[in-house]
Structures are given as C-alpha cells and as structure tokens.
Amino acid sequence: MTLAKRIIPCLDVAGGRVVKGVNFKDLVDAGDPVELAKFYGEAGADELTFLDISASVEDRSTTLDIVSRTAEQVFIPLTVGGGIRAASDVDQLLRAGADKVGVNTAAINRPQLINEISDRFGDQVLVLSVDARRSKTESGFEVTTHGGRTGTGLDAFAWIADATSRGVGEILLNSMDADGTRAGFDTEMISRVRSITQVPLIASGGAGKVEDFARALEAGADALLAASVFHFGTFSIQEVKAHLAQRGYSVRQ
C-alpha cells in the first residue's frame, strides 16, 4: 500500500505569536498560533508542526501553555520543537498534547539525548530537525543551530547518519539557503539525504509554487512542510493536494 504524502503547515512561534521571515531574519507577524492551528486543522492539513524558534536562543523551554491550547484545537498529529533538552521535557510536552517532539540544538550538543528519548518513549515520537546550509564540509552541507544563526562545523550527512542510528522516527530537513525565499525546495539536498537514510523525510524551506511540492516528492521527500505560502494565502493546502493528486501521488483529502 502506498502511504499518503503529508502536507504539514509549520507554525514558527516567537513571543507567543506565529512569525515568518527569510532565513529566520526580518520576522513579520503571521497571527495567533492557536487560531492558526484550528484553521489548518479544518483546512485539510495532515499534521501540524509547532516550532518555538526563540526557545534555544533565549535558553528556555517551550511554552507549554500555548502547546496545550493548540492541542485542544487540532485533531491531527502535532509535533512540537524548540528548547527540548531532556527526556523530562518530552514527557511534559506529550502530557500537554504533543504527539511528537522535534530536537535540534540540544541533540547536537549532547547526542545521547536522542538515545534517552527514543529508549523511553519510542523513536516514533522523535523528529530530528536538521537546519542545513551549503558549506565547506565533506558533504558540502553543514548543520546550523539557533534558528540558523550559528554554524556548527558539523557535516550534515554525518550527523544524520549518527542520529538515525541512535533512533529517530523522522527527519525534518530544512534548507537554510532556501528558507523563506519561495524559490523552491532544495531538491539536491533532499535527494542526497534520501540516498543515505530510509527514515521518513519531511522537506522544509523554499516552497513558493504548488509545483514545488511535487518536485520535492520526486527528489525523495515523504512529507512537505511549508509556512509563509499558507500563512499569507498564496495558495491553500487543498490546492497543493489537488496538484499532487493530478501528478499521481496519494494524498488524504
């Protein structure tokens, strides 16, 4: 059976509001996270991703109140990321209504965190968030942290191989070069990551036209995440799904 391709709106939250910019800079307000979550739940989103993009920068945990209020409004899987440093943080988020959690900065600083979360809760709850950009590493891609502000010098492909061996259920692959540009997903990076792992791959960064979503699937993505094109009404989730269905992809209506 062919699994349906998933369309996932992303709520980048800072200061209690959904924001969007280009390469995580020049952020503009895109609305209330709870209201937007409810809207997307009713608009045909397959899942929802909630990223507290200022949590790591401000060295604090994710805002549980917003997560719990968001979870009350949506009846589709909810992934929450930002500021997760310990298995106890995951426990709190799951109790607040999250279905999955995303880790990035803390896992890079201490990779054993992946093992601890996976061993305690199962790898199906764990999404590895990889903010990668072109750089002078062995693969040509480097992992960044703190919303793309900080380069790590860590080769993105080596990190993905290490992290997946420790136990992650999905990879959220975000192109920092393409993020917010609406110039299309980074299909080269998607296809190269697909060649080194069988873990389900969520492509993020660069959606600008409905055709971009099909190209990312052709490159090897299993799910597609976007923010500004949905927040600002460039096109709807249903328009994306209709285009994918026309191209022969299985989607949930």
Question: How many structural domains compose the chain?
Answer: 1
> With 90 as the cut, is the pLDDT of residue 101 above it?
yes
Residues 6+ apart with CB under 8 A from 85: 61, 106, 113
Catalytic residue among 12, 123, 179, 186: 12
Q: What percent of the chain has pLDDT over 90?
A: 74
131 is catalytic: yes
46 is catalytic: no
Q: Who wins on pLDDT, 20 or 196?
A: 196
Is 133 a member of any domain? Answer: yes
Residues 6+ apart with CB under 8 A from 171: 127, 128, 130, 160, 164, 193, 197, 199, 200, 201, 202
Catalytic residue among 32, 46, 123, 131: 131
Domain of residue 224: give its range.
6-246
Q: How far apart are CA 240 and CA 242, in angstroms?
A: 5
For 199-235, how does the pLDDT look when each residue is reduced to its tens digit (9 = 90+)? 999 999 999 999 999 999 999 999 999 988 998 899 9
Q: Who wins on pLDDT, 248 or 63?
A: 248
> For the chain, what is the mean pLDDT?
91
Is 66 a member of any domain? Answer: yes
In the predicted model, what is the mean pLDDT of residues 21-32? 64
> With 60 as the cut, is the pLDDT of residue 23 above it?
no
For 112-149, how does the pLDDT look when each residue is reduced to its tens digit (9 = 90+)? 999 999 999 999 999 999 999 999 999 999 999 876 77
Is 251 a member of any domain? Answer: no
- With contact defined as beta carbons under 8 Å apart, do 201 and 170 qualify? yes
| pLDDT (0 to 100) of residue 56 | 59
Least reliable range by pLDDT among 27-31, 48-52, 109-113: 27-31
Is 43 a member of any domain? Answer: yes
In the predicted model, what is the mean pLDDT of residues 88-98? 96
| pLDDT (0 to 100) of residue 30 | 74
Is 163 a member of any domain? Answer: yes
pTM for the whole structure:
0.92
Strand partners, 173: 130, 203
User: Where residue 39 sits, what CATH number does that domain have?
Assistant: 3.20.20.70
Write out the E strands in 98-200. 100-103, 126-134, 141-145, 150-155, 170-175
Is 252 a member of any domain? Answer: no
| pLDDT (0 to 100) of residue 118 | 98
CA–CA–CA angle 156, 118, 155 (5° rounding): 10
Q: How far apart are CA 202 and CA 20, in angstroms?
A: 19
